[in-house]
Structure 1
Amino acid sequence: MTARAIIIGAPRSGSGKTSVTIGILRALTRRGLKVRGAKSGPDYIDPGFHTAATGLSGVNLDSWAMSPSLLNALAAQAADDADFVILESAMGLFDGIPAAQGRTGSAADLARLYGLPVLLVLDVSGQSTTAAAVAKGFATYDPDVHMAGAVLNRLGSERHRRLSGDAIEAIGLPVVGAILRDPTLNLPERHLGLVQAGEYDDLVAHLDRLADMAEKSLDLDAIMALATPLAPAVGDFADALRPPGQRIALAEDAAFSFLYPHVAACWRKAGAEIVPFSPLADQAPDEDCDVCWLPGGYPELHAGTLAAAMNFHAGMARFAAKKPVHGECGGFMVLGEALEDAGGETHRMLG
């Protein structure tokens, strides 16, 4: 099976592309299709929502951080067992970092590389026909990035939809969705992005609200017709992160959750054993492990609990005296002397 795919892009963050992406993923899954979510660039949070919406693990495709061979291998793996791959852009469609052509980390890199069409989500609040100028700019900015259709988001009225939609269709870009302004569809955010999927008490209900929106406000059949086959060149996992040890003590809970699924899968495939432990439950790494790995997450939201976890502190000190400990992002912060929580209070960490 080789999936068909489409990129959900936007001019900027906050345009509503995540809600549109999740709504499409959930709605198509409810129709009985095998659908996988993907995310351009570095992002640990949105793929969690993609996974919850579809039941299939989300994937990150990062043209800057990943070698072309690894990128192709991940894309092929994503397409291999799905009917559709819905690829959500990070930030704006063309946003990345200064780098060689095709290596910026932007979703536009993936559109060029795989010949994928883009569905452009436009927040048209505060404008009407001006939206057509924005759409035309996107349609003509890069001839190798094809805008296949547009979704109008945060409309105020039927008249607003008609003015914006007619102007966009007049430049030759089909409008395949129109979403009225509805604050209940917004996903809650915090200081570094969205609240994680696992923190919702009513996650399934919210996913279904977004799917209901997609069924009502988007032409899903037209969107599926716009998608094209995802057929990457041959790649392999030779450049994937190698296991740091034979037995890896991995911190895993609400404070430490940022590990890409393909990293853990490659470790296991290489023969490594992952031994999870929860610092929030005051657990320490298994001393029989070869290395301890503290991934990123939101430890600042749990700083008080981590400071009081004396068994965790003592176990980490014993482990670090003999074996390597790796901390990244939030995990690295916990290795320091102290951590300031979201309320400004300072808590003692591992030192």
Structure 2
Amino acid sequence: MLPPGLMISAPASGTGKTTLMLGLLGAFRAQGLAVHPFKSGPDYIDPGFHRAASGRFSVNLDTWAMQEGLLGNLLDRSEGADLVLAEGSMGLFDGVAKPGATGNGSSADITAKAGWPVVLILDVSGQAQTAAAVAMGFGQMRDDVELAGVVLNQVASPRHEMLLREGMKQAGIPVFGALPRRKNVSMPERHLGLVQAEDQTDLYRTIEEATAFINEHIDLDALRTAAKPTNRLTGDVTKTPPPGQRIALARDVAFSFVYPHLIDSWRAQGAEILPFSPLADEAPDASADVCWLPGGYPELHAGRLAAAQNFRNNLKTFAQTRPVHGECGGYMAMGEALIDKEGVRHEMVGLLGLVTSYAKRKMHLGYRMAELNIPLANMQPGRVLRGHEFHYSTILEQPDTPLATVRDANGELVPETGSVRGLASGTFFHLISEAV
């Protein structure tokens, strides 16, 4: 039997899910419990925070991109833990209009499949008993989604809390705790969401503060008691083949957006991961047979990348005989140039003709389905990949051969096709899995 679990969710983004999640992970860990974290949806950042707080690897669960077998395989990683906590994305029921692999990508889909009750954190600013009506709606929206109870956030005063609790009592909804207004444990933000775990020097202090805050205001025993056993999901697991036997993987604060389950799958299939740091002007391992540049924040480090001559020269040499692939930020770094938000042009590696600009910002966000036009690493033309795109860069030039035919979650063509030149290739979407 897999351990009991809960989904930590909310009506919307920005309501305190991550602070609650990190505080709960820290508080239960301090009690000596092994708590296994998950993240619902396509998020590359929160799992790093989860790991820091819990001491256990966190991976993404995504019903739009993942088949049932892969979801089950990832849920099985919780075996042996005392408790599972999953952090939702956006609002509980938010997803795309058309279902994907096994659902529409919402946290509610994951909740229903895993069998986890929902702990709903509510920002109760500006309301009292009305908050109970909001919670009731969440409890009644889907028959296969169970509301365990709520955590009240941004409570203004004891009188405010009393009114809120009275409304919840009348509605028959348990209250696991009330969090007063307090800013010093909120997570810092950046233009692409939360700061990366590697980027935040005071992360552990923040986790300690969140843990103390949650310990003080949440009934941990009641919340744990509300958890229910995790369902076992079965089915074939389609394994995305590793791009090579020995994979040189760029890894530093500029290149870290890669899904952990993908790297783990490559290792399980016998591949070796050889990390290196472009920001430290390191070259890919000469013994590697492929180089992979993940996404991240190259625009924040464009000057250092432009000055990293050892990295740039050796990557060009590498690409003469072996494949090099970049995702989003890695793709931009492989291009001719990157223009930062101040309009300064920085020369990049030049393996591709791509020129991108942050001076002309435009948000690109959403799931992507890509059918390869040409081979990509060990995947042949015609293979269909599922991924996710999120960036604010604008393409100024993209003269190379399109890599794939790319569509969004509604099946509409998108212009960001990726590109290829010789053995170098790149995409704006981050690979999650293969479509079946």
TM, length-normalised to structure 1: 0.96
What is residue 55 of structure 1 aligned with on the other side?
Answer: 55
2:90 is paired with a residue of what secondary structure?
coil
Asked whether the 8 Å contact 2:151–2:175 carries over to 1, the reply is: yes
2:86 is paired with a residue of what secondary structure?
strand
Using the TM superposition, give the Cα deviation of residue 94 of structure 1 relative to its aligned residue in structure 2, in angstroms.
0.6
Q: How many angstroms apart in 2 are the aligned matches of 1:53 and 1:344?
A: 38
1:185 is paired with a residue of what secondary structure?
coil
Structure 1 residues 342, 178: CA separation in 2 closer, same or farther (over 3 Å shift)? farther
Asked whether the 8 Å contact 2:249–2:275 carries over to 1, the reply is: yes
Using the TM superposition, give the Cα deviation of residue 204 of structure 1 relative to its aligned residue in structure 2, in angstroms.
1.5
Q: How many angstroms apart in 2 are the aligned matches of 1:182 and 1:329?
A: 36
Q: How many angstroms apart in 1 are the aligned matches of 2:255 and 2:229?
A: 36
**Which one-letter code corresponds to 1:309 in the other structure?**
A
**Which one-letter code corresponds to 1:323 in the other structure?**
R
Q: What are structure 2's unaligned runs of at least 5 residues?
A: 351-436
Asked whether the 8 Å contact 2:155–2:180 carries over to 1, the reply is: yes
Asked whether the 8 Å contact 1:116–1:228 carries over to 2, the reply is: yes
Q: How many angstroms apart in 1 are the aligned matches of 2:343 and 2:203?
A: 29
Asked whether the 8 Å contact 1:254–1:298 carries over to 2, the reply is: yes
What is residue 137 of structure 1 aligned with on the other side?
Answer: 137
1:325 and 2:329 aligned = no
Cα distance per residue 1:289-344 (max 9 Å; x no partner): 11110011111111111011011111111111222111112111111222233544
Cα distance per residue 1:221-278 (max 9 Å; x no partner): 0000000011222346x32321111111110111111222222222122111111111
Asked whether the 8 Å contact 2:64–2:99 carries over to 1, the reply is: no
160-169 or 94-103: bigger deviation: 94-103
What is residue 8 of structure 1 aligned with on the other side?
Answer: 8
**Which one-letter code corresponds to 1:317 in the other structure?**
K
**Which one-letter code corresponds to 2:38 in the other structure?**
A
**Which one-letter code corresponds to 2:92 in the other structure?**
L
**Which one-letter code corresponds to 1:165 in the other structure?**
R
2:255 is paired with a residue of what secondary structure?
coil
What is residue 275 of structure 1 aligned with on the other side?
Answer: 274
Q: How many angstroms apart in 1 are the aligned matches of 2:240 and 2:285?
A: 22
What is residue 33 of structure 2 aligned with on the other side?
Answer: 33
Q: How many angstroms apart in 2 are the aligned matches of 1:325 and 1:241?
A: 17
1:21 and 2:10 aligned = no
How many pairs align? Answer: 349
Q: How many angstroms apart in 2 are the aligned matches of 1:73 and 1:230?
A: 12
What is residue 200 of structure 1 aligned with on the other side?
Answer: 200
Asked whether the 8 Å contact 1:33–1:83 carries over to 2, the reply is: yes
Q: How many angstroms apart in 2 are the aligned matches of 1:180 and 1:344?
A: 42
Alignment of 1:73-88 (within 5 A): 73-77=73-77, 79-88=78-87
Asked whether the 8 Å contact 2:71–2:233 carries over to 1, the reply is: no
Asked whether the 8 Å contact 1:247–1:274 carries over to 2, the reply is: yes
2:279 is paired with a residue of what secondary structure?
helix
330-339 or 218-227: bigger deviation: 330-339
Using the TM superposition, give the Cα deviation of residue 346 of structure 1 relative to its aligned residue in structure 2, in angstroms.
2.6
What is residue 306 of structure 2 aligned with on the other side?
Answer: 307
1:184 is paired with a residue of what secondary structure?
coil
1:151 is paired with a residue of what secondary structure?
strand
Asked whether the 8 Å contact 2:4–2:116 carries over to 1, the reply is: no
What is residue 253 of structure 1 aligned with on the other side?
Answer: 252
**Which one-letter code corresponds to 1:231 in the other structure?**
N
Q: How many angstroms apart in 1 are the aligned matches of 2:55 and 2:14?
A: 25
**Which one-letter code corresponds to 1:125 in the other structure?**
S
Structure 1 residues 230, 282: CA separation in 2 closer, same or farther (over 3 Å shift)? same
What is residue 162 of structure 1 aligned with on the other side?
Answer: 162
Share of identical aligned residues, percent? 52
Asked whether the 8 Å contact 2:254–2:279 carries over to 1, the reply is: yes
Asked whether the 8 Å contact 1:76–1:231 carries over to 2, the reply is: no
Asked whether the 8 Å contact 1:256–1:299 carries over to 2, the reply is: yes
Alignment of 1:79-98 (within 5 A): 79-98=78-97
Asked whether the 8 Å contact 1:63–1:110 carries over to 2, the reply is: yes
Q: How many angstroms apart in 1 are the aligned matches of 2:123 and 2:99?
A: 30
More strand by share: 2
2:7 is paired with a residue of what secondary structure?
strand
Asked whether the 8 Å contact 2:68–2:234 carries over to 1, the reply is: no
Cα distance per residue 1:100-120 (max 9 Å; x no partner): 385111110011112210000
What is residue 232 of structure 1 aligned with on the other side?
Answer: 232
Using the TM superposition, give the Cα deviation of residue 287 of structure 1 relative to its aligned residue in structure 2, in angstroms.
2.9
What is residue 99 of structure 2 aligned with on the other side?
Answer: 100
Asked whether the 8 Å contact 1:302–1:341 carries over to 2, the reply is: no
TM, length-normalised to structure 2: 0.78
1:294 and 2:293 aligned = yes
Q: How many angstroms apart in 2 are the aligned matches of 1:240 and 1:38?
A: 20
What is residue 361 of structure 2 aligned with on the other side?
Answer: none
Cα distance per residue 1:162-218 (max 9 Å; x no partner): 112211221111111100000001100000100112222222221111111111111
1:174 and 2:174 aligned = yes
What is residue 70 of structure 1 aligned with on the other side?
Answer: 70
Using the TM superposition, give the Cα deviation of residue 284 of structure 1 relative to its aligned residue in structure 2, in angstroms.
1.4
CA-atom RMSD, angstroms?
1.4
What is residue 368 of structure 2 aligned with on the other side?
Answer: none
1:216 is paired with a residue of what secondary structure?
helix
Q: How many angstroms apart in 2 are the aligned matches of 1:38 and 1:52?
A: 13
Using the TM superposition, give the Cα deviation of residue 288 of structure 1 relative to its aligned residue in structure 2, in angstroms.
2.5
